[in-house]
A and B are shown apart, each in its own frame.
Chain A
Amino acid sequence: MQFELSRVEKIYISSEENKVFGAKDVSLNIHEGDFLALVGPSGSGKTTILNLIAGLILPSSGSLKHGGKDITSMTLEERTKHRLDYMGFVFQDYQLLPILTAWENIEFPLQLKGFSKNEIKERVNWALAQVGLEKMGHRFPKQLSGGQQQRVSIARAIAGRPQLILADEPTANLDSKTAQEIIELFLKLNKEFKLTFIFSTHDQRLIDQVRTVLYVKDGQISESRNHHV
């Protein structure tokens, strides 16, 4: 598994004269087990890079590949299927479906993938166990705390055993104690299951714990720093 961004640019055109670079000359290789963070001020282009990796937006130039497959040549439907098959997502505001219980929220992408009933049961229970919410599966999101909701969101992301998990500001809405617990959960999942994580974050605690920090400025990766965690 390798996600490969090569000289990727994303230009937002508001007029002929006014071009804004969402991403500029971004080259990046993501390997199995990576645990990296995109760091930078608001509007620096972190989220644009996440969107490009996810295939949610297409680059204006450059190539974007996964396992040798060119994501840019895929149709919108193929890219959605590609995300379903290979990626998991964790959002700042959790984005759980309020009409489904925690168990059913985790079940949702597995249903889309067409897993059997037994496999879904096994995977959802496994994911709930990993995030420490085995007994909370029957609860609706509004019956859970922010930290618990984020755990469910993580469980939903990992239940399909994706090759890559993209997390956009995953600790931004949490108090410091809960944020620390969530970071530890990410670390545990990365270590135990070699799950690959890419974070977009401002959170110094998370930045301190990732192995690779990519500083983004004006759409460019200006600096890369490796930590030994």
Chain B
Amino acid sequence: MKSFAYLLKFSYRNLFRVPKRTLIMILSLSFGCGFIIWDLNFANSGSKEIMKDFLTQYAGVYHVTHPDYYDAKNKKQFNSYKTMTDEDLERKDLIPKSTRRAVAPVFISGEKKTLGVLMTGLEVEKERKLSTLYKAIRAGKFLEPEGQREIILGKKFAQRIEANVGDEVAVVGQAMDGSVANDLYRVVGLLDFGGGDLEESLAFTQLHSAQEFLSLPPERFHQRVSFDVESDDLPKLKSLGVTRWFDLIPEIGFSVQFIDNITWFACIIIVMVVSLGLSNTLMITFFEREQEFNSLNIIGAQTKWITISLMIEVFIMGTVAIGLGVLMGYLAVKYFYYHPINIELFTGGKPIIMGGMTIVPLVKIYALPQYFWQVPLMIYFFLSLTMIYPLIRVIRRSKNAI
């Protein structure tokens, strides 16, 4: 223990041999560490913020449905007409911040054209509180809670069937009893998600209007959609199906995962580049001291002792740099929590459209604890690799005599 304490002291003192060089090595490592921590937090927070914004626009975090609603064998087949009631829920409080929806694939006829679309019946008041769908209204207004047979159309869809706010459109579909359902609806508003495909495939009406259209009793509906974006937990329900957004729109989920993975990959490349530079500097540092290692060996220091002292020296430097880097990363993350970044900076001012919806580009960076230990571990790992070749050179140095 005493000899280890001396080794520590000896290694620590060696850091002051060429103070400027040590300082540069510490700063490059700590900047690298701090930047990576910030970058990973930024990427993750960015993904989360964007997803939060995207999910609250319309999709929701998860859907509770009849277990056969999203058929496992055919997830794309949206309406298999399996409905549910709130009686089917074991406990309603298991699904916080949720709203009911009824959906029906229908044909809508305008002045000149008839096209297919997915019509969704909404609980208007709840929807206004939980989702931001109403913010996408560009012409007319959002649905009235007590209104009858009002409909909102996507802007592009309305253009294609040549319908406008105030017009009546004919809606034809299949009711739950198998009969033909048809009715006239008045267009009260047009939706604009920023130019995405959703404007061509969605239409919205009141839940009670949809239920009436589908010949559904008032207690029956298709989906209970949760907007609890702060929680990653899904309710465990025995008799109902719970489907995460990731499974409903996997292409977006994989894109987000890809961004996270590519950020990690980029960070590893940064650490590797810094490590190569560091390895070179260590080589120079050790090479300059070769004669000294020889003298130490002559006066009785084992090569093992010299090697361990060098390893400790590098680890002390690494620990100081990582400590500083973690602090820098934390402060940067905190700063950008209070001063969110406009990610349009990275898109040249162009709006970000995801899943057919325009995303609000302000990203608050949250400090995610796992990055504050994962990144230091990664740096320690690369630091260990960095030392291997210089240490081999020390162990196998040519001269070992007076």
> A95 within 8 Å of B by Cβ?
yes
Which of B284-323 touch A at CB < 8 Å?
291-292, 295-305
Contact of A81 among B16, B17, B298, B300 (CB under 8 A): B300
B298 touches A112 (CB 8 A): no
B302 touches A77 (CB 8 A): yes
Given A54-B298, A80-B297, A83-B298, the answer on whether A168 and B305 have CB atoms closer than 8 Å is no
CB distance from B132 to the nearest CB of A (A): 63
> A57 within 8 Å of B by Cβ?
yes
Q: Mark A65-95, 1 if CB is under 8 A from B, else 0.
A: 0000000000011001101110011010001
Q: Write out the residue numbers on chain A whose beta carbons fall within 8 Å of the beta carbon of B291.
A: 95
> B401 within 8 Å of A by Cβ?
yes
Q: Is the interface of B mostly helix, strand, loop or mixed?
A: helix
Q: Mark A108-137, 1 if CB is under 8 A from B, else 0.
A: 110111100000000000000000000000
A112 touches B301 (CB 8 A): yes
> B182 within 8 Å of A by Cβ?
no
B401 touches A114 (CB 8 A): no
Which of B1-38 touch A at CB < 8 Å?
2-3, 6, 13-14, 16-17
> A99 within 8 Å of B by Cβ?
yes
Q: Write out the residue numbers on chain B whose beta carbons fall within 8 Å of the beta carbon of A113.
A: 300
A97 touches B402 (CB 8 A): no
B3 touches A114 (CB 8 A): yes
Q: Which of A84, A85, A111, A156 has the most CB of B within 10 A?
A: A111
B295 touches A91 (CB 8 A): yes
A51 to B298, CA, bound (A): 9
A114 to B303, CA, bound (A): 17
Contact of A80 among B6, B14, B292, B300 (CB under 8 A): B300
Q: Write out the residue numbers on chain A whose beta carbons fall within 8 Å of the beta carbon of B305.
A: 112
CB distance from A189 to the nearest CB of B (A): 17
Contact of B6 among A76, A95, A111 (CB under 8 A): A111
Which of A17-56 touch B at CB < 8 Å?
47, 50-51, 54, 56
A88 to B295, CA, bound (A): 12
Q: Which of B291, B299, B304, B305 has the most CB of A within 10 A?
A: B299
CB distance from A168 to the nearest CB of B (A): 5
How many residues of A are counted as interface, with CB atoms below 8 angstroms from the partner's CB atoms? 30
> B400 within 8 Å of A by Cβ?
yes
Q: Which of B14, B291, B295 has the most CB of A within 10 A?
A: B295
CB distance from A115 to the nearest CB of B (A): 10
Q: Mark B100-116, 1 if CB is under 8 A from A, else 0.
A: 00000000000000000
CB distance from B398 to the nearest CB of A (A): 13
Given A80-B300, A84-B299, the answer on whether A99 and B3 have CB atoms closer than 8 Å is no
B13 touches A56 (CB 8 A): no
> A100 within 8 Å of B by Cβ?
yes
Given A57-B401, A89-B402, A91-B402, the answer on whether A99 and B17 have CB atoms closer than 8 Å is yes
A218 to B297, CA, bound (A): 28
CB distance from A48 to the nearest CB of B (A): 8
A166 to B300, CA, bound (A): 13
A111 to B299, CA, bound (A): 12
Q: Write out the residue numbers on chain B whose beta carbons fall within 8 Å of the beta carbon of A109.
A: 299-300
Q: Which of B292, B296, B402 has the most CB of A within 10 A?
A: B402
Contact of A112 among B13, B14, B16, B300 (CB under 8 A): B300
Given A47-B402, A50-B402, the answer on whether A111 and B3 have CB atoms closer than 8 Å is yes
Q: Chain A: which residue is nearest B295 at the CB level?
A: A95
A57 to B304, CA, bound (A): 19
Q: Write out the residue numbers on chain A whose beta carbons fall within 8 Å of the beta carbon of B6.
A: 111
Contact of A156 among B13, B297, B299, B302 (CB under 8 A): B299
A69 to B171, CA, bound (A): 107
Q: Write out the residue numbers on chain A whose beta carbons fall within 8 Å of the beta carbon of B292.
A: 95, 97
A168 touches B299 (CB 8 A): no
A100 touches B402 (CB 8 A): no
A54 touches B402 (CB 8 A): yes
A156 to B400, CA, bound (A): 20
Q: Chain A: which residue is nearest B7 at the CB level?
A: A111
Q: Write out the residue numbers on chain B whose beta carbons fall within 8 Å of the beta carbon of A50.
A: 402
Contact of B298 among A56, A85, A97, A98 (CB under 8 A): A56
Q: Write out the residue numbers on chain B whose beta carbons fall within 8 Å of the beta carbon of A89.
A: 295, 298-299, 402
Q: Write out the residue numbers on chain B whose beta carbons fall within 8 Å of the beta carbon of A83.
A: 298-300
A166 to B401, CA, bound (A): 12
Q: Write out the residue numbers on chain A whose beta carbons fall within 8 Å of the beta carbon of B303.
A: 76, 80
- Contacts A80-B297, A80-B300, A80-B303 known; 4 new A-B pairs at CB < 8 A: A51-B402, A84-B300, A95-B292, A114-B3
Q: List 20 A-B contacts (CB under 8 A).
A: A47-B401, A56-B298, A77-B302, A80-B302, A81-B300, A81-B302, A83-B299, A84-B299, A89-B295, A91-B402, A95-B291, A95-B295, A98-B17, A99-B14, A99-B16, A109-B299, A111-B3, A112-B300, A112-B301, A112-B305
Chain B residues close to A by CB (< 8 Å)? 2-3, 6, 13-14, 16-17, 291-292, 295-305, 400-402
What 5 A-B pairs have minimum CB-CB distances, sorted nearest first? A84-B300, A95-B295, A56-B401, A51-B401, A99-B13
